Amino acid sequence: MDKAAIDIQKLEGIFDSMVNVMDQSKNDIFMISEQSRRSFESMQRELILVKEDISRVITEGDHLEEMTRHSRRRLADVSKNFVNYSEQEVRKAYEVANDLLVRLSVNRMEEKQLRIQRDDLDRRLAELLETIERADQLVNQVSTVVTYLTSDLKDVGEALETARHKQDFAIRIIQAQEEERKRVSREIHDGPAQMMASVLIRSGLIEKVYEQKGPKQALAEFQDLKEMVRSSLYEVRRIIYDLRPMAIDDLGVVPTLKKYLSTLMEYEPDVRIHFQSIGEDRRFESSFEIAVFRLVQESVNNAIKHGSSRDVWVKVEWLRETMNAIVKDNGSGFDQNEVKEKSFGIIGMKERIDLLKGDFKITSEVGKGTSVFFKIPFNPDSMGK
């Protein structure tokens, strides 16, 4: 008995130590990713300045080239008719032409160096981006393993009683959570965060534009800045809405779906979504309503993303004891015999339906689109107050 107890304690100690090491490794990788990301952003700002310098040098070079051509014509005229000019005028014509040639040569050298610097920054940015993506992937993988170990394998007896497909689904759920966190982080970083960084840089340039090019050009820059801020606000609102449609708590399923599908068509201008609600829609408990919303959302997104559909039909039917919904598209469809274990989206939808004690059916054929049908029964616990 004592020996068995000691062995279990040792096993638990080894297990905890392993988890701690993996967790620390995840943090180290995350720090590398963040340092690389800061370097990436700093290098992006440097690249913007280098490109501005290149534009300035090219403009100066064009002006110098025009002046050089003029000085050459002047020098040719003086040389041809030198008897008509004084010695001082001849010397000045030579000096001006030579000075302009030197300045043009320096300008071309500066342009060449700036272009080399720009190309080097582009190459380093690409390498840094690859490092960031690989680090993010490693953090995601380690987080998945650590979460799975601490939540599913801590109690070995319970883990052994769990069916294999349930374990696989648990891992996929964790992966999906990590992917979702990474997606939201990336959307914020690549969208609003980048826009705000650009706003900061552009706001600093407006004063220089005003001094160098006048108020009219500065006003144009300011208008562009306003559009950039407006776009940032739009992106933030879109990300918040994707995380949880706040209107569903106030309005219910049907109005929220109408708003979501209308917004989706703005993001996907080539797609037409036809929505129809039959019968008197009702209010339900919040988790029930969000589950229905997510089922329709997942079906529509699959139709657009995987089915490349251009028309999607969404119909919701409210009966006395059930709510029926069908999402149909005219996309590429798929072979249902080939979509099994890897169809994580379909597995997730089935899990939602099972929790709601409903029925779920998908029919699809290659080249002939897909139809998703689900029926959810009402019960007293799900009804809104």
Task: Quickly count: other Cβ atoms within 10 Å of residue 63's Cβ.
Answer: 12
What pLDDT score was predicted for residue 159?
44
Nearest-angstrom CA–CA distance, 274 and 295: 17
What pLDDT score was predicted for residue 2?
44
Nearest-angstrom CA–CA distance, 44 and 66: 33
What pLDDT score was predicted for residue 164?
47
Nearest-angstrom CA–CA distance, 106 and 104: 5
Contact present, 333 and 370 (Cβ < 8 Å): yes
pLDDT tens sequence across 109-119:
988 998 898 89
The vertex-8 CA angle with 5 and 13, nearest 5°, equals 125
Contact present, 222 and 202 (Cβ < 8 Å): no
**pTM of the entire structure?**
0.43
Nearest-angstrom CA–CA distance, 136 and 133: 5
| Phi, psi of 360, deg, nearest 5 | -145, 135
What pLDDT score was predicted for residue 85?
80
Copy the structure tokens of residue 26.
Answer: 């995840």
What pLDDT score was predicted for residue 304?
86
What pLDDT score was predicted for residue 342?
47
Copy the structure tokens of residue 226.
Answer: 């306003």
Give every residue of the chain whose pLDDT is below 50, as ranges.
1-6, 156-165, 167, 341-342, 385
Task: Quickly count: other Cβ atoms within 10 Å of residue 6's Cβ.
Answer: 10
Question: How is residue 346 annotated by DSSP?
Answer: H
Q: Where do the DSSP E strands lie in the chain?
A: 272-278, 311-318, 322-329, 359-364, 370-377
Q: Give the relative orientation of helices 253-267 and 215-243 as an angle to the nearest 10 degrees.
A: 140
What pLDDT score was predicted for residue 109?
92
Please state the three-class secondary structure of 145-172 as a single string.
HHHHHHHHCCCHHHHHHCCHHHHHHHHH
Q: Where do the DSSP E strands lie in 92-186?
A: none
Copy the structure tokens of residue 157.
Answer: 């007896």
The vertex-57 CA angle with 53 and 62, nearest 5°, equals 150
What pLDDT score was predicted for residue 311?
92
